Chains A and B, each alone.
Chain A
Amino acid sequence: MTPGEDAVKSPTDFSDSVDVQRERRQLAETWREPTGLVGWFSCVHHTTIGRRFIITAFVFFLLGGIEAVLMRLQLARPENRLLGPDLYNQIFTMHGSTMMFLFAVPMMLGLGIYLVPLMVGARNIAFPRLIAFGYYLYLFGGIFLYFMFLLNSGPDNGWFSYVPLAGPQYAPGKRADVWAQLITFTEVSSLVVAVGLIVTVFKLRRPGMSINRIPLFVWAELVISFMIIFAMPTVALASTCLILDRLIGTHFFNPAEGGDVLLWQHLFWFFGHPEVYIIFIPATGIISAILPTFCRRKIFGYTLLVLSLVATGFIGFGLWVHHMFATGLPKVAQSFFTAASMMIALPTGAQIFCWLATLWRGKLVVKTPLLFVLGFFFNFLIGGLTGVMLASVTLNQQVHDTFFVVAHFHYVLIGGSVFPLFGGLYYWFPKITGRMLSERTGRWVFGLMMIGFNLTFFPMHQLGLKGMPRRVYTYLPGLGWEGLNLLATVGGSIMAVSVLLFIVNAFQSLRAGEAANDNPWGAGSLEWATAAPPPVYNFARLSVVAGHDPLWDEFEKQPVVTGVRSDLREVLVTTVLDAAPDHKYLMPDPSMWPFLTAVATTGLFVGSIFTPWAVVIGAVPVTITMIGWFWPKRREQEEQAAAEHGHHSGAGKDEGPVGGERPIWEGQA
């Protein structure tokens, strides 16, 4: 089941006495993931679910990429007839919706699901069944969208689905409803994952990992989880109101009956702007994980980086109106949001200076992950500069809805997020699979992507300034747009080649790649303290943490936590700030109920596009499956009883955390 769990001896997980081997076997048996078809749908370990999230998100990345290539081919020359206007509308909507809702957010959350429990030294994520439920909901939402697209019912109003275009009057048929319900699927999924991640970071950290020792990637995932909790309900509410308007005749967005179309824009962008940071902040976490490893020094300005992340999380909620400068808002609102939009450059700038300082004082090991980070600096800087330009109302109105905006947000999203992501994939691939990706191919992937990306999107700035609007399926010759469009298409093809090369690289490595040891880069965070790939119990030895790069902070000399049972799925729960041991908790066993609940929920969501009664009728199977999920099974009862009565049980309120006045894990060694 888990290759390497006994064979590979980790440099830090080093005891191999007979007792330890027996304990490892016991742990492997206790935490074993089920096999077979039913078993596949019952898995609950975060590495399994996280891997599925990452792979699924990557598949959607490819689909979104194919749509991008199709658009580029259509625009390669004027009056092209490759795609008609209707199909083009569907394809750019599918591209945007796929990349935002089915690729970027789930990819970042998937990395979080896989890495956060490892980085905080836990044996599983909090609420693993809920996380599994979130995965299936996401998967079904994506399948539903593409199924409807194949039936010529793909959404065609753009990824932000503005009313009145998407309202009942101008969008007959089911296309707008498909978009709205895709939102419901993906938002519910993201929300449950966000809750799981927050609780994992708050309560399941290894003793000693006090709040000032949490790795920066984990901080980033924590901040976006909070952002998700406050941002995603907005879009879920907005899309629900849209469906209500379309299905049962409410008037939220109907000006004739007291509704208001701008309400949609406010609700959407109150989500939509934080969404950009939900995608970007984990990328900064990846950079902060990669840089110390390849600079061979600790990160510069840990505290400042954490504060910047948190500040970005807050300010990210104060910018939404800058997407609406062209809607005729009062001057004072425009000035306020201009100021806020410029203010967010401060924490981002602080982060960049910390990274530069880390690079400056480091001994660089130039490997592929670092190359992608260096590429990030170049590309993101351009995106950041056009961002500051767009924050100004006058310039914003001049280039509103042109290719200048398209260029800007692709520099921010691809340059700011996809480049670090690929760096992260090269960085963590050996941990996840036990195989190294090829360094030589990696350099090619990076080089081609860097060239292809800039060739595609840099000309778009100029196209926008020359007045080419976005979302047009073709244009007339003689407007001076031909050359730049062709250039962008050539660049797009180069990017496509780089992604294909990455896939080839991944498959080759999986089949016959160089075997990775547990810590091939000599990194300092806890995920490298276990085998590659990690065993299902993550860690046998629970060593205390003494710094924010635990493996670089005299890890071998730290005390070890004992007394967490290996015959049960028991984990140690620690306190929020100090991560002092507090109590133990039994993690749930594998179960098929989350999958069944997701199936029932899918029925309800899809049905409610067609009739409001689906909500009432669909609630019955949802309730039944949830009861099945909640109701304790005999085995669980026995395990719980064993946990509670096998030991000194009870949970007296007065029993504080153990450790006395001065915890043993502080100042040891």
Chain B
Amino acid sequence: MKREDLTIDVSDLPVYAFGARSLMWWGTLGMIVIEGTMFALLIGAYFYLRGRVPDWPPNGLPPQLRWGIVNTVVLLASVLPNIWYQRAAERKDLATVRLGLVISIVFAVAFVVIRFCEFRVLNCHWTTNAYGSVVWTLLGLHTVHLITDLADTIVLTALMFIGPVDGKHFVDVSENAFYWYFVVIVWLPIFAVLYLAPRWI
């Protein structure tokens, strides 16, 4: 058999793919694992410090629940437009992607605004004691993720409106939603730690 006969022709393969087939998905997953480890460690530090003092919170006042609950509801609701535009991206429906991204931005902005209300009713300050330090750092780290992903989404949305949009960019849109799910899911344990643990455990 001649060597020329032994070839695998890949000319007809697609030039991009969604989900776990794509490089971007794995890259995003890598970032998620890194960030997730960071949150897990900080939560570990929270409980480690808790074991060092008799009263937790030391002044007896856990963060006020109101804004935390509002924020959790808003955040969970924001998953819907993300799912919507992610599905649209996978069928390359540009109009729906644009609308979905804009709605997601509105959610994210609302979330950041409410987050500032949250910071005001934490009933502690980072300079007072280690409890205050870890609470502020935990909430702060999550807020940094929110703001980063908001900025990211805004740039991506601008690209969807201005630039010529290729298939590859739909993959980026899909991965943007993927990262947002992480920001939402990681909030749930943080919420439980900051708001519920001092009350119930």
User: Chain A residues in contact with chain B, CB under 8 A?
Assistant: 126-127, 130, 191, 194-195, 198-199, 202-204, 207, 229-230, 232-234, 236-237, 241, 244-245, 248-252, 254-255, 257-260, 263, 266-267, 270, 544, 556-564, 570, 572-573, 575-576, 581-586, 623, 627, 630-632, 637, 640-641, 643-644, 647-653, 655, 658-659, 664-665, 668
Instruction: Say yes or no: B42 contacts A237, CB within 8 Å.
Output: yes
| A563–B9 touching, CB < 8 Å | yes
Is the CB–CB distance between A199 and B13 below 8 Å?
A: no
B90–A653 CB distance below 8 A: yes
The answer, yes or no, to whether B65 is at the interface (CB within 8 Å) is: no
Judged by a CB distance under 8 angstroms, whether B41 is at the interface is yes
Determine whether the beta carbon of A560 is less than 8 Å from that of B12.
no
Q: Which residues of A contact B159 (CB under 8 A)?
A: 631-632
Q: Which residue of A lies closest to B20 (CB)?
A: A576
Contact A562 B11 (CB under 8 A): yes
Contact B37 A572 (CB under 8 A): no
The chain A residue sitting closest to B53, CB to CB, is A258
Contact status A237-B38, CB under 8 Å:
yes
If A562-B11, A586-B15 touch, whether A259 touches B130 (CB-CB below 8 Å) is yes
> Are A562 and B10 neighbours in the complex by a CB distance under 8 Å?
yes
CB–CB A199/B14 < 8 A: no
Measured between C-beta atoms, what is the minimum distance from A516 to chain B in Å? 27
Q: Within the complex, which residue of B17, B26, B126, B155 is in contact with A249, where a contact is CB–CB below 8 Å?
A: B126
A94 to B79, CA, bound (A): 48
Give the residues in chain B near A229, CB-CB below 8 Å. 30, 33-34, 37
Please name all residues of chain A whose beta carbon is closer than 8 Å to the beta carbon of B23 when the two chains form the complex: 126-127, 199, 203-204, 573, 585
Given contacts A561-B7, A564-B10, contact A234 B137 (CB under 8 A): no
A585 CA to B10 CA in the complex, in Å?
12
Task: For the A-B complex with A254-B130, A559-B7, A583-B13 known, give 20 more contacts whose Cβ atoms are closer than 8 Å.
Answer: A198-B26, A198-B30, A233-B41, A244-B133, A251-B130, A251-B132, A560-B7, A562-B7, A562-B11, A563-B9, A581-B8, A583-B14, A583-B15, A584-B15, A585-B16, A586-B15, A632-B169, A643-B15, A651-B14, A652-B14
Give the distance to chain A from B49, nearest Cβ to Cβ, in Å: 6
Flag whether B164 is at the interface (Cβ < 8 A). yes
Task: Report yes or no: A632 in contact with B38, Cβ–Cβ below 8 A.
Answer: no
CB of B81 to closest CB in A, whole Å: 21
Interface residue count for B (Cβ, 8 Å)?
Answer: 56
Out of A230, A257, A266, name the residue touching B48 (CB < 8 Å). Answer: A266
Residues of B close to A570: CB separation below 8 A: 15
Asked, given contacts A581-B10, A653-B90, whether A641 binds B166 with beta carbons under 8 Å apart, the answer is yes
| B41 contact set on A, CB distance < 8 A | 233-234, 237, 267, 270
Tell me if A's interface is mostly helix, strand, loop or mixed.
Answer: mixed
A631→B157 CA distance, assembly (Å): 12
Q: Which residues of A contact B18 (CB under 8 A)?
A: 651, 653
Chain B's nearest CB lies how many Å from the CB of A668? 6
Say yes or no: is B201 at the interface (Cβ < 8 Å to chain A). no
* Cα distance, A665 to B10, chains bound together (Å): 13
With known contacts A198-B26, A263-B45, A658–B13 Cβ distance under 8 A: yes
Question: Taking CB as reference atom, which chain B residue is nearest A240?
Answer: B137
Partner of A195, one of B16, B21, B30, B132: B30
Asked whether B27 is an interface residue with its Cβ less than 8 Å from the other chain, the reply is yes
CB interface residues, B 158-199, toward A, < 8 Å: 159, 163-164, 166-169
Q: Complex formed: what's the CA distance from A245 to B167 in Å?
A: 47
On whether A263 and B49 interact (CB within 8 A), knowing A198-B30, A199-B26, A241-B137, the answer reads yes
Q: 0/1 per residue, B146-161, Cβ < 8 Å to A?
A: 0000010001000100
Say how far B151's CB is from chain A's closest CB, in angstroms. 6
* Least CB distance, B60 to chain A, in whole angstroms: 14
**CB-CB < 8 A to A664: which residues of B?**
6, 8
Cβ contacts under 8 Å, A259 to chain B: 49, 52, 129-130, 133
- With A249-B127, A258-B129, A644-B167: A582-B45 Cβ-Cβ less than 8 Å: no
Question: Does B101 reach chain A (CB closer than 8 Å)?
Answer: no
- Which of chain B's residues 108-135 have a Cβ closer than 8 Å to chain A? 126-134
Residue of A nearest to B56 (CB): A258
Q: How far is the CB of A129 from chain B (nearest CB, A)?
A: 11
- A640 with B10: CB separation less than 8 A: no
Task: State whether the Cβ of B58 lies closer than 8 Å to any Cβ in chain A.
Answer: yes
A456 to chain B, nearest CB (A): 37
Task: Tell me if B69 is interfacial: C-beta within 8 Å of chain A.
Answer: no
